[in-house]
Amino acid sequence: MNDHAAEPVLEAENLSFSYGHEPVLDGVSLTVAPGEFVALVGPNGSGKSTLLRCLLGLLKPRAGEVRLFGAAPADLRHRWRLGYVPQRAALAREMPATVEEVVGAGRLARSGWRRRFDAADRTEIEHAMSSVALLEHRRRRVSELSGGQQQRAFIAKALAAQPELLVLDEPVAGVDAESQHRFRDSLTHLVAEHSAAVLLVSHELGAVADDLDRVVVMRRGKVYFDGPPADLVATGVSLGVHHDDLPLWLEGLVKPDNGT
């Protein structure tokens, strides 16, 4: 993909976190460079959701440091630089806005909330809707859509802002194969055309396996693999493995005394 020599857009150094006396993260470090496409995987209970919340500034680590674009998450001035799509948003069930309005709100976050869109804004809004196969539903209320369509609407909202770092939490769960490939095309466009970085948290990587620069595997609160997909595949792992099978191949992936 791109040359990743520039300063990282995301840095986490030696993060630790506990819920009460129970450690969840233990010395986790992670970097993402501009234009880099990184997948974060791990079985339930591996700590990846807690790590994600620490990276976004939603949780404060017990030890260690997080920097987004060189600053602490709370000090990030231009919020549009970070795009975040959580797992299916419950708010969508009550939302009266149309798909186009939701996606437009993402564009407004970048343009400074001016009242009228210019031609470039409209182009990006249409491209974002098209990239997730929702252009024909642009006038429908988000609350009327299926769960998978709602998720795609929020992905399009994030894409419309053209963020420098896009973080996605299980974005293709329950989404059909055609929509997954459209989703893949929208991400590769964002990386190629805008040098954006992508951090994708997912159990199923089949749609984007050929585009990833790195796969980061978490297990029991630690990073046990961080490297190119080919090195992971060489261990016998299929990047399209379903989440139900994930703990099985993780058990044999990397031994605890080989930690990275």
Predicted TM-score (pTM) of this structure: 0.83
- Asked if residue 75 belongs to a domain, the reply is yes
Average pLDDT, the chain: 82
CB 214 within 8 A of CB 226: yes
CB 209 within 8 A of CB 180: no
Please give the tally of structural domains in the chain.
1
- Asked if residue 124 belongs to a domain, the reply is no
- Asked if residue 112 belongs to a domain, the reply is no
- Asked if residue 126 belongs to a domain, the reply is no
CB 128 within 8 A of CB 121: no
For the chain, the C-alpha Rg in angstroms (whole number) is 18
pLDDT tens-digit readout, 229-255: 888 878 776 666 555 555 454 554 544
Distance CA 87, CA 67 (A): 23
pLDDT tens-digit readout, 81-124: 999 988 765 556 667 899 999 999 889 877 766 667 888 889 98
- Asked if residue 218 belongs to a domain, the reply is yes
The three-state DSSP-derived secondary structure of 205-223 is CHHHHHHCCEEEEEECCEE
In single-letter form, the type of residue at position 39 comes to: A
- Measured between its terminal Cα atoms, the distance across the chain in Å is 24
In single-letter form, the type of residue at position 143 comes to: S
- Asked if residue 63 belongs to a domain, the reply is yes
Q: Tell me which residue range forms the domain holding 190.
A: 10-89+163-258
- Asked if residue 16 belongs to a domain, the reply is yes
- Asked if residue 117 belongs to a domain, the reply is no
CATH number, domain containing residue 234: 3.40.50.300
Give me 252's structure tokens.
């044999």
